[in-house]
Copies of this chain bind each other. A is one copy, B any other.
């Protein structure tokens, strides 16, 4: 069984969880899919580690659990190299991009992905930044636009393991989408539901960080930017509308008070941070918004727990399709990356 060579850029929560599921699911990958993935290169903020024969997964996991850079590992450590260097030089089949999100310039992720695609390496992203800033550019360099080019996949970018993109593109392949509604920022959902239960805002934020759900910079979540970026990705990938962040109207949950939540409950409603894509008719442009919204309890997305995310697609011939994902930590996000690796490799 020829091994699938993976490179992993970024060893934060998602990257570390990905290494762990590579280990826990090894038998399943071999028996169910005939896959034998090996990690030939990794990079964290302190440097890189490289081994064309495949790095020792246990050693990698232990190194990160001890809080040490992979660059310090014996023999395989490369202190002078970073993620962009392994993207440029290491021979691999798939690069997994999980460096921190940056919404100003998208770096280092954007260059890492461009370099990898240029070299014919498939890319699996958990980092939303490159897609939010340069979707059409990356699409043009990948199988998104032309079948012969390397794959560009980003299941993990739109709500953890929630199969937002697959549902919208693959399952609704023959349908016209009339409207989309999404609650795909786990942090805001968790904060609002915790505030409903009596916790104060600051404590709720801290809890989401402790669980590894919040972004490195939680204001990206709280001010609605994370959800907005996901809506940008949905608009590009599912609605096939070239979209950038400035096309959206965005408002976060900073001004939502416990009193607002109480009043909504009294009305039989629930306040959520809702992302939506709507339009008055098929010929008009989409209206793309992220804002706190009071939903009637009868709405599909009004009854999710603090750990759930969901999306609703209203269509012409395929009825109304709805999906939710319940996730307590960052493991399912890593599972979504694994979904993409399997899809590319089989």
Contact = CB atoms under 8 A, between A and B. Distances in A.
Nearest to A160: B319
A325 B319 CA distance: 7
Nearest to A173: B342
Contact of A317 (B24, B167, B170, B323): B24
Contacts of A28: 174, 176
A174 B321 contact: no
B331 A317 contact: yes
A134 to B, nearest CB: 23
A163 interface: yes
Contact of A166 (B33, B171, B175): B171
A143 interface: no
Contacts of A163: 167, 170-171, 321
A171 to B, nearest CB: 4
B319 A174 contact: no
Nearest to A35: B174
Interface string A17-58: 000010011001100110000000000000000000000000
A251 interface: no
A-side binding surface: helix, strand, loop or mixed?
A: mixed
Interface string A279-319: 00000000000000000000010010000000000011111
A318 B330 CA distance: 10
Interface in A152-199: 155, 160-163, 166-167, 170-176
B317 A335 contact: yes
A320 interface: yes
B325 A321 contact: yes
A111 interface: no
A124 to B, nearest CB: 12
Contact of A319 (B24, B155, B172, B332): B332
A323 B326 contact: no
A176 B29 CA distance: 11
Contacts of A240: 32
Nearest to A304: B300
A30 B125 CA distance: 30
A95 interface: no
Contact of A170 (B166, B315, B318): B166
Contact of A29 (B21, B174, B326, B341): B174
A339 B29 contact: no
B326 A319 contact: yes
B174 A317 contact: no
B29 A343 contact: no
B326 A174 contact: no
Given A324-B300, A336-B318, A342 B174 contact: yes
27 contacts: A21-B317, A24-B317, A25-B175, A32-B240, A161-B319, A163-B167, A163-B321, A170-B339, A171-B339, A173-B338, A174-B335, A300-B324, A315-B335, A317-B332, A317-B334, A317-B335, A318-B325, A318-B332, A318-B335, A319-B326, A319-B327, A319-B331, A320-B326, A322-B324, A322-B325, A322-B326, A323-B324
Given A33-B173, A174-B338, A323-B323, 16 more contacts: A28-B176, A155-B171, A160-B319, A163-B167, A163-B171, A163-B321, A173-B342, A174-B335, A174-B341, A303-B303, A317-B331, A318-B332, A318-B335, A318-B336, A322-B326, A323-B324
